[in-house]
Amino acid sequence: MKTILVTGGAGFIGSNFVHHALGSRADSGPWKLVNVDLLTYAGNLDSLEGADRDRHELIQADINDGKQIRALLDRHQPSAIVHFAAESHVDRSIDDAASFIRTNVQGTQVLLEAALDYWKTGTCNAFRFLHVSTDEVYGDLAVDDPAFTEQTPYQPSSPYAASKAAADHLVRAWHRTFGLPVLITNCSNNYGPRQFPEKLIPLMMINALHGRALPVYGDGQQRRDWLHVDDHCRALMAVLNRGEPGRTYNIGGNAERDNLTVVQAICDLLDQRAPEGFSLDQPRRELIEFVTDRPGHDRRYAINAGRIEQELGWRPQMKFEVGLEHTIDWYLNNAQWWQRIQSGAYRESSREGYSGERLGTRSGQAA
């Protein structure tokens, strides 16, 4: 049984990857998952409920702790590291860039050093280091610009995007200088189950469900390529199993939508699925409020995923409208999951023996 060491596996994409890798859909299995997560505010043990305990071990650790990471590598001898751990909310990066530099840049560097030492021992000849990044490193696109390719120059706009760009460059440097067999993926906006409620789709869904204002930045015409997290996990498995070391793969959902259209679609779905408290002449679209735009807000992202399709045979399967319906239904059917986040109970009752900051009240958008 092969072992994957996953960093940040209690977060949104990480926890979905854990479920995917442990499930019957995962190829080249069965896998054992060693899940290393610091369990900061966005790490949620509730998101790991149902994971096979015989093949999944959660360890609270900081990727900046090189000695502990190195010891975990020696103990578990993984055939791969899949690196999700990152601060990822753009609004938070504007308020506190230092924590993004520490986790996303310094943490990646420490992890690379530990991985290099481990790889040099020859314990696993087929070792892979998969670094999961974002399309935000490429910067802003005009309406008529071609979509991002793997050759698009980096022009990050936010502290978050700059920290991920720096991490990408470090990963490439460890490959070119030391030969570490790395893989990099740059994905578009993810959505789906288990996404922390500060991000656009769950934030708007929960606010709309309760009749609260739906704050939309600027004119709401910022365009994003929306990628369902299940499609993303399938892509990551394809890259991990069949990708060429040293190569970068863009992953997109082929679903460009502007933010206002997404918020309106959420409102319409909730009017159909959860009409309680709202009459037909008071649709939830009336809750939309345009607010001052975020500083440095990129206007458009778009992904050209031709390389991963041509070389690895992956393409997105989930149509955005269908995926959004499934996502809304998941949040409606799993209200306790996000209610425990809002109350802070997910940090208090589900983490005996763990310490960390209590969830704050700040909310924002991610798109």
Q: What are phi and psi of 251, to 5 degrees?
A: -125, 115
Among this protein's residues, is 249 annotated catalytic? no
160 among known catalytic residues? yes
Amino acid at 362: R
Q: How far apart are the first and last CA of the chain?
A: 38
Those residues whose C-beta lies under 8 Å from the C-beta of residue 274, and which sit 6 or more positions away, are: 209, 332
Integer Rg of the chain from CA: 20
Task: Please name the residue that has the structure tokens 């998952």.
Answer: 33
Q: Which residue has the tokens 């909730």?
A: 270
Q: Count other C-beta atoms under 10 Å from residue 282's C-beta.
A: 12
Among 311, 353, 285, which residue's Cα sits nearest to residue 45? Answer: 353
Annotated catalytic residue, options 37, 135, 231, 298: 135
Per the listing, tokens 């943490």 go with: 107
Nearest to 227 by CA among 167, 166, 159, 303: 303
Among the listed residues 41, 118, 138, 160, the single catalytic one is: 160
Which among 302, 333, 42 has a CA at the least distance from the CA of 193?
Answer: 333
Taking residue 280's Cβ as centre, other Cβ atoms within 10 Å add up to 7
Q: Where are the beta strands (DSSP E) in the chain?
A: 2-7, 31-37, 56-60, 80-83, 128-134, 182-187, 189-191, 214-217, 223-228, 248-251, 256-258, 288-291
Catalytic residue among 46, 136, 225, 298: 136
Of 75, 97, 72, 227, whose CA–CA distance to 157 is shortest?
A: 97
Q: Residue 82: what residue type?
A: V
d(CA 27, CA 312): 13
Structure token digits, residue 151: 């050759």
- Name the maximum alpha-carbon separation found in the chain: 68
CA 354 to chain CA centroid, nearest Å: 23
Mode of pairing for the β-strands spanning 248-251 and 182-187:
parallel
**Catalytic residue check, 301:** no
By annotation, the residues acting in catalysis are 135-136, 160
